[in-house]
Each structure stands twice: as C-alpha cells, then as structure tokens.
Amino acid sequence: MTDNGRTAYEQYIRNLKGLSESTLRAYSNDISSWIDFLNQQGIAVNEAGRDDARLYISTLSMRQLAASTINRSLSSLKSYYSFLEKRGDVEGNPFTAVRTMKKPAHLPVYLTNREVSILLDNVEGADFTACRDRALFELLYSTGCRVSELCHLSVESVASNRIMIRGKGGRQRYVFIGEKARQAVDDYLPFREERLIEKGLGGIRALILDEQGKGLTTRGVYYILQKYMRKSGLSRKIGPHAFRHAFATEILNEGADIRVVQEMLGHASLSTTQVYTHTGIERIRQVYRDAHPHGRRVMRKPENPGDRNREQRAGRS
C-alpha cells in the first residue's frame, strides 16, 4: 500500500468532498498523528484494530485536547479507513465502534450591537487601511459569513447586494450586503485599486487585501480585530467569528425563523443553529438579573425537593 493510501485519499477528499483548505490540512495532520502513533507501536496501518483505535483516542484525551478536536480526528480517521476499505487495502474500519466524545455546552461568544458600534466608531480615517477595515467589519456583521469565506470573496462577487457563497462541504448559499456594508465596500474599492497600481500587481481578484496588495488571510483578520478591540477599550478576548455569532443572535432576536437563519449561516444541521436561541434566553436572563431587585435570588438553581426533605430530617435528628 503505497504511502498508506494517503495521497489517493487526500486527492479524493479534495476533489469530491469539497472541503476547505484548512479542513484538508486538519485531516492530513490527523492522519499523520495516527500513523506516528502506530509507528511507535510497531503496527502497520492495515494491521490496526479497534483496541489500537480506542487507545489512540484515549491518548488524545489524556493530552487534554478539546472534545471537538478529538471528534474531528475520529471523523477524519473513520473517513480515511472507509476509503481504504473500499479500495481493498484494509479489512474493516478500526474506528467504527469508537464513540465520539461529549462536547461541553458552551454558548457562543458574540459581539453585542453596541460593541460593534463602538468598534466601528474607532475605525477612523479615509485611507486604504481605515476603509478596508471598515468594509471588513461591516461585511462580517452584515453577511454572517465565516472569516475564511469572506477572505475568499472576489471583487466581482460584490457587484450586487446578493453574494453566492461556497461554504463547508461545498454547500452553496446566498448572503446579503446591508446598506451600511454596501457603502463601506463602495468607499473601499477605489483605495483597493489604487493599492494594486501602487504595488504593480495585476490579476489579484481577492476583495479584501493586506497592506502589500495580496489577499488578506484569516490570521490577518484576527490581528486587525485585536488592534481595534484594544483601541476601543473592549477587554473581552474574542475572534472574528464573534461577528457571525452577533449576526445570528441579532436576527433571531428580531424574530427571524430559525430554519431561514440556518440557511443563511450555511449550517448542515439545525441543532448547530439552535445554540443561538439559548443565547437569546441567556440575554433575557441577564437583563432580569440586572434589573429586578430580587433577580439574583430568584434566578438561582431550582431547589430539589428531595434535598429539602433530607435537610428537614437532619434537623429533627
């Protein structure tokens, strides 16, 4: 089995699965890590069994990796062995019976409407950098795009206020540019063209550029956001994905149908979108706690009647 079938598998998921570059890298790293583990045990890829798979996942858990990271590794290795099995390179999939780890319930971290306004108020100036950053933030907030999706937008894609996005798994959806985002993009475009001429660059189709006139990366977006978070005095530690969370939270709070929001965000599963309904409930809970004089006392964890009965019996003894 040449190179453990990796090259053929990676070509397969690249061409047929429509995965993003970052996901492809993650899958490749997962396979490399697994093969390294097997080499340490003196086991070939086609000799690995269920006990080896369970031991490997336990090893990842002992390294205190996040449940989402371990589950992704499990998913990629299941897919890898399924591919090898279909080719006849292995007999059986050692990861089939390995259960995914339960992920802790975390509400998404999002920017409030007020925080977005504060952030944008601190994007000052009318030069390339300021206009680009304003367009960047407005587009993230207006469209609900993933950061990677926004970085892949071409300049032609924003000719109208409706953009076709190719998201995770090759799924396509439409997102929409709001009035403020439209104005920010229109203000930025002349500076974009000027920067390309200044750098002597042609054929660059990326909408959002870095200072050198190349397409801005997701890491670059993160650094830009951190700069304005510090400048705005917003001390919370958040990433660009917070704009996507803010988008979803705001439109759901305004009464949008959750299935429509699922479509706008490009979620394959409705359960992924439903986390934003919990965010709305938490906001209501916080308002109650802050505004009602007895809010903190009333909103405590409901008492278990069995606990009260045990306390009463203890008091009589």
Q: What is the C-alpha separation between 291 and 299, in angstroms, rounded? A: 12
Q: What is the C-alpha separation between 280 and 301, in angstroms, rounded? A: 19
Q: What is the C-alpha separation between 187 and 139, in angstroms, rounded? A: 13
**Looking at the DSSP assignment, which residues form a beta bridge with residue 154?**
206
Is residue 241 annotated as a catalytic residue, yes or no?
A: yes
Conformational region of residue 170, where left means phi above 0, alpha means psi within -120 to 50, and beta covers everything else: left
134, 173, 192, 241: the active-site residue = 241
9, 56, 141, 276: the active-site residue = 276
Give the residue ranges of DSSP H helices in 106-206: 113-121, 128-143, 147-151, 179-199
Q: What is the C-alpha separation between 144 and 117, in angstroms, rounded? A: 16
Is residue 168 annotated as a catalytic residue, yes or no?
A: yes
6, 132, 134, 146: the active-site residue = 146
Contact 207, 153 (CB under 8 A): yes
Token pair of 270, please? Answer: 């409705």
192, 195, 244, 245: the active-site residue = 244
Is residue 9 annotated as a catalytic residue, yes or no?
A: no
78, 166, 168, 283: the active-site residue = 168
Q: What is the C-alpha separation between 286 and 110, in angstroms, rounded? A: 15
Closest CA relative to residue 44, chosen from 76, 3, 73? 3
Phi, then psi, of 21 in degrees rounded to 5: -60, -40
Query: Which residues are identified as catalytic?
Result: 146, 168, 241, 244, 267, 276
